[in-house]
């Protein structure tokens, strides 16, 4: 064998046929697809297991077609002055369908009705059959459990969308002030409607803070509810306001409603008596009549009026309830709530001047508080002398309780002040109103209101630990046949502490009925006054007010003369009351500090 034979060339691999290559490639693809299928089945199995064992209480985190922010404008929270939550947005799921993807409209509607039992299946089936639409609402704001059960049905074309839903954790407590929103989360009443732009466009500015104090609000509602039930009244209202600033701490109207379910409330329940209502408030107006009479110098606080006989004007005869049939001092006219004395004061002031003072008190125009549910006052088209007389004791002119409490605050505080408000962002920008009366007149009015509670018709408004001033009101309601059917709107306005007013509380009761404890009397002094007293006794500590200083009461007593007078109706002698004189009502050293933007409500009464 030669060298060439011993060193053979290497063997070449056998040539592979085209068919073998294709087989190997096919096997590789099958292995890859098998792995994908296995992973898919594992993922599907895990998801089905998750759905099968999920707890009913666990929230469903379903895929939504849009984020809430993309679908609906969010509203800012509403809180009270202490930051406690009144209204907020909560994400809730709604279910809808795409008719083009729905298989069997009627069957789909019937299947959905097994979960959503309150839907109209016939109407839904018709809407799902409309192939020209790509969007049909099935149900807005469903529960997590309902969403979970619908998901398990696996209905083609049925999908979910997350929306914002407004909730009111305080329920009916603040319903009339805060209002409510519609299904599209748009404001329909109260703060929600009046401050729509602030709550939506101003969402990122933070919560909208109100002046309300939920603690005081709860006390006011509780005591009013008790009074309405006890005296079988048709309804009632409470307002609690800071005297100097005009900030409303409480506003309650009964009957009320739950804004979470506002559609179930009737018109009477949704009616805000404090702002929408216009009422003849009766003898509350005598405080204002005394204020304009004293401020204009038409009457002196030491004057007397003959109330032996009814006051006559043309065919009208003005009488006193429980008439004393004797001469009454100005303090007695207010303390005993004499219609005759008030009428004579008003005649001394005159028609033109009375109308001007009513305008100063803010009673002749719509109140500027920025709420849509605010009524216009009702007044005579032509102000005649008889209107001057009847308006002096609160008849013939109808205003809202809000306007009444604001007017009395203007009268007893003196100095410029802002009208009542509930949203500081708006109220603190409102222009100051000029002083309605001078500081000396305001001091005299506070003394007169103290006398009403200390010795007069408001005795049931006394509160241990505080000096209270007040004024009763009892107005006959006009009916189809005029006045005289004994239907009353009873009220009492309390001021505390009267030596340096910080707060006013106004309670009204609509057609209350007296009971044995009130000797069957339903007037304000018997029904509304004790209600105000209970509110003050509970709200005072919440507001941090200390007990009265004994020296403060001495200041009031030093200006009171007590004597004896003959009651012509009862035919016997009784105590009489008068003011000591015209001077000494305002300390000069303090007078110069009044009239600013603060309270200015009674540092002039500080003894010293």
- Pairing state between β 78-79 and 208-209: parallel
CA separation for the pair 81, 505 (Å, rounded): 18
Burial 302-324 (b: 16+ CB within 10 A, else e): ebebebeeebeeeeeebebeebb
CA separation for the pair 160, 584 (Å, rounded): 75
Q: Which of 207, 198, 209, 284 is nearest to 239 (CA)?
A: 284
Beta-carbon contacts of 415 under 8 Å, excluding residues fewer than 6 positions away, are 435, 439, 442, 594, 595, 596, 600
Q: Scan for tokens 């100097």, then name that residue.
A: 244
Q: Residue 349 phi/psi, 5° resolution?
A: -75, -45
Q: Residue 559 in contact with residue 205, Cβ under 8 Å?
A: no
CA separation for the pair 58, 40 (Å, rounded): 26
Q: Which of 472, 476, 495, 494 is nearest to 485 (CA)?
A: 476
Catalytic site residue from 283, 338, 457, 537: 283
Q: Which of 222, 212, 152, 151 is nearest to 178 (CA)?
A: 212
Q: Residue 371 in contact with residue 275, Cβ under 8 Å?
A: yes
Residue 130, classed as helix, strand or coil, is coil
**Token pair recorded at residue 286:** 């005598």
- Residue 497: asked if its preceding bond is cis (omega within 30°), the reply is yes
Q: What is the dihedral of CA 260, 263, 265, 266, to 10 degrees?
A: 160
Query: CA 58, 59, 61: angle at the middle one, nearest 5?
Result: 130
CA separation for the pair 297, 309 (Å, rounded): 25
**Token pair recorded at residue 282:** 């009766």
Q: What is the dihedral of CA 212, 213, 218, 220, to 10 degrees?
A: -70
CA separation for the pair 176, 373 (Å, rounded): 9
283 a catalytic residue: yes
Residue 18, exposed/middle/buried by CB under 10 A (0-12, 13-18, 19+)?
Answer: exposed
CA separation for the pair 503, 218 (Å, rounded): 16
Give Cα 38 distance to the centre of its chain.
Answer: 63
Residues with a known catalytic role = 283
């Amino acid at each position: 064998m030669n060298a060439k034979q011993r060193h053979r060339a290497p063997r070449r691999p056998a040539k592979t046929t085209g068919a073998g290559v294709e087989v190997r490639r096919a096997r590789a693809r099958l292995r890859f697809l098998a792995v994908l299928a296995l992973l898919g089945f594992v993922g599907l199995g895990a998801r089905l297991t998750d759905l099968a064992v999920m707890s009913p209480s666990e929230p469903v985190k379903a895929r939504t077609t849009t984020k809430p922010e993309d679908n609906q404008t969010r509203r800012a929270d509403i809180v009270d002055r202490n930051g406690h939550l009144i209204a907020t947005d909560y994400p809730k799921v709604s279910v809808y369908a795409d008719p083009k993807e729905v298989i069997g409209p009627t069957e789909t509607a019937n299947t959905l009705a097994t979960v959503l039992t309150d839907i109209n299946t016939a109407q839904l089936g018709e809407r799902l059959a409309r192939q020209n639409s790509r969007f049909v609402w099935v149900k807005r704001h469903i529960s997590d459990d309902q969403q979970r059960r619908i998901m398990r049905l696996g209905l083609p074309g049925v999908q979910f969308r997350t929306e914002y839903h407004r909730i009111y954790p305080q329920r009916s407590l603040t319903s009339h002030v805060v209002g409510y929103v519609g299904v599209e989360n748009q404001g329909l009443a109260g703060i929600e409607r009046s401050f729509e732009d602030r709550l939506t466009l101003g969402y990122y500015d933070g919560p909208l803070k109100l002046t309300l104090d939920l603690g005081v609000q709860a006390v006011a509602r509780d005591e009013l509810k008790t009074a309405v039930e006890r005296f079988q009244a048709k309804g009632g209202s409470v307002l609690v306001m800071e005297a100097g600033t005009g900030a409303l701490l409480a506003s309650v109207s009964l009957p009320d409603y739950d804004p979470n379910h506002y559609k179930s409330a009737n018109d009477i329940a949704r009616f805000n008596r404090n702002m929408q209502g216009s009422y003849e408030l009766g003898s509350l107006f005598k405080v204002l009549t005394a204020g304009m009479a004293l401020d204009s110098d038409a009457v002196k606080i030491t004057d007397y009026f003959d109330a032996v006989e009814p006051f006559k004007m043309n065919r009208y005869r003005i009488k006193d309830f429980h008439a004393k049939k004797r001469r009454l001092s100005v303090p007695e006219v207010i303390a005993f709530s004499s219609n005759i004395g008030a009428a004579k004061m008003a005649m001394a002031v005159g028609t033109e001047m009375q109308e001007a003072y009513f305008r100063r008190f803010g009673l002749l125009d719509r109140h500027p508080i920025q709420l849509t549910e605010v009524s216009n006052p009702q007044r005579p088209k032509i102000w005649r002398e008889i209107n001057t007389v009847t308006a002096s004791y609160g008849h013939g002119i109808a205003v809202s309780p809000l306007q009444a409490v604001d007017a009395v605050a203007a009268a007893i505080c003196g100095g410029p002040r802002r009208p009542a408000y509930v949203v500081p962002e708006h109220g603190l920008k409102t222009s100051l109103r000029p002083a309605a009366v001078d500081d000396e007149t305001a001091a005299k009015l506070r003394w007169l209101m103290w006398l009403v509670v200390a010795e007069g018709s408001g005795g049931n408004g006394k509160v241990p630990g505080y000096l209270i001033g007040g004024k009763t009101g009892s107005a006959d309601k006009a009916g189809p046949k005029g006045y005289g059917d004994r239907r009353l709107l009873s009220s009492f306005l309390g001021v505390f502490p009267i030596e340096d007013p910080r707060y006013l509380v106004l309670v009204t009761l609509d057609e209350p009925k007296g009971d044995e404890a009130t000797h069957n009397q339903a007037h304000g002094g018997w029904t509304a006054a004790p209600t105000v007293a209970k509110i003050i006794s509970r709200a005072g500590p919440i507001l941090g007010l200390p007990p009265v200083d004994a020296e403060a009461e001495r200041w009031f007593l030093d200006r009171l003369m007590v004597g004896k007078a003959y009651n012509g109706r009862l035919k016997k002698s009784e105590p009489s009351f008068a003011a000591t004189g015209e001077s000494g009502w305002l300390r000069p050293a303090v007078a110069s500090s009044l009239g600013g933007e603060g309270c200015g409500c009674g540092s002039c009464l500080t003894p010293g």
